[in-house]
Structure 1
């Protein structure tokens, strides 16, 4: 078996796990966006025509937090976060790959720190209940370590792929 075929066979289950996560997260984000639109519409209509529905502001805020973090995982996977890549893109093949690996390692370090800090913050806030729904704030803040863990997984898979000489799945080549 050639080295390229071996690398491809090693990456297949990792890439499958990324696609599976995306297949779950994307509809959750779309559904949450639809729910957010519905809740905000209810909030506006109830304020204009009736008495304001108290829980709508809280639900909208919590949905927005979850949408932000979960959509960030989708953007991370697709390489859509803001990045200055002109220096890396100007490098030839092997140095470009090393620079991408270095950037992913820095991102991975940040994401692991965010995961740990998010977990700690979630634990600290666990005794607190939301004002209207009386929902444990653990559920609100759980998205921080969850999203950080998902993005860390994506970064790790990309590091492995680049180390094996394969480009990330949605990487755009310079000039493309």
Structure 2
């Protein structure tokens, strides 16, 4: 088995997948947002533990902010997963059979993800508008609720655009992506005379 790295490259680094190398908007955006959100979660939780330990009280705002950050983290990570074509799927169906079928299923999956998150974005805009119009405040610390809810349509649009980008790249079949393992049937088909 040959190494995907050329001589002289760092053996600890992994080559970018085909999906990652063809995106117009760099995936570093989602990667850095994930790092920043995780760091904020860790700091907030650590600060709350210290305050509880030394004062027998806790910051009231930490739970509310942590819940928001966990939701934002899952959506940002979902955007990266869609762009890299690594979202959840049943590999038996998605990674087996001829390449044309794999591509068709990848395109169909990307289209369904785009449709779902476009609907979520459209419907959540109404929710944000209601939060602003009626002056809803958060239950824990009383800040305007739209400070949290505004991110749902924004990140949903980002996921929709990532899914459309994946679909425009004609769907990356799992066997086309060197970073992903392929099924035995595809490997046998690739090595057939």
TM-score by length of 1: 0.76
Q: Secondary structure, in 3 states, of the residue corresponding to 1:99?
A: helix
1:153 to 155, 161, 170: 161
Is the Cα–Cα contact under 8 Å of residues 66 and 140 in structure 1 kept in the other structure? Answer: no
1:90 aligns with 2:96: yes
Is the Cα–Cα contact under 8 Å of residues 111 and 151 in structure 1 kept in the other structure? Answer: yes
1:62 aligns with 2:87: no
Shift of 1:170: 5.0
Q: Which structure's residues are more often helix, by fraction?
A: 1
> 5+ unaligned residues in a row in structure 1: which ranges?
1-13
Give the equivalent residue in structure 2 for 1:36: 41
Instruction: Return the alpha-carbon distance in structure 2 between the equivalents of residues 48 and 88 of structure 1.
Output: 50
Shift of 1:167: 5.8
Q: Which segment drifts farther, 150-159 or 166-175?
A: 166-175
Instruction: Return the alpha-carbon distance in structure 2 between the equivalents of residues 124 and 109 of structure 1.
Output: 23
Q: Which segment drifts farther, 130-139 or 71-80?
A: 130-139
Q: Secondary structure, in 3 states, of the residue corresponding to 1:134?
A: coil
Per-residue CA deviations over 1:67-117 (Å, capped at 9, x if unaligned) read: 222122112222332211322322212232222222222222111111112
2:53 to 48, 54, 59: 48
Is the Cα–Cα contact under 8 Å of residues 34 and 77 in structure 2 kept in the other structure? Answer: yes
> 5+ unaligned residues in a row in structure 2: which ranges?
1-21, 188-193
Give the equivalent residue in structure 2 for 1:27: 32
CA-atom RMSD in angstroms: 2.7
Aligned residues: 160
TM-score by length of 2: 0.70
Shift of 1:150: 1.2
Instruction: Return the alpha-carbon distance in structure 2 between the equivalents of residues 111 and 141 of structure 1.
Output: 15
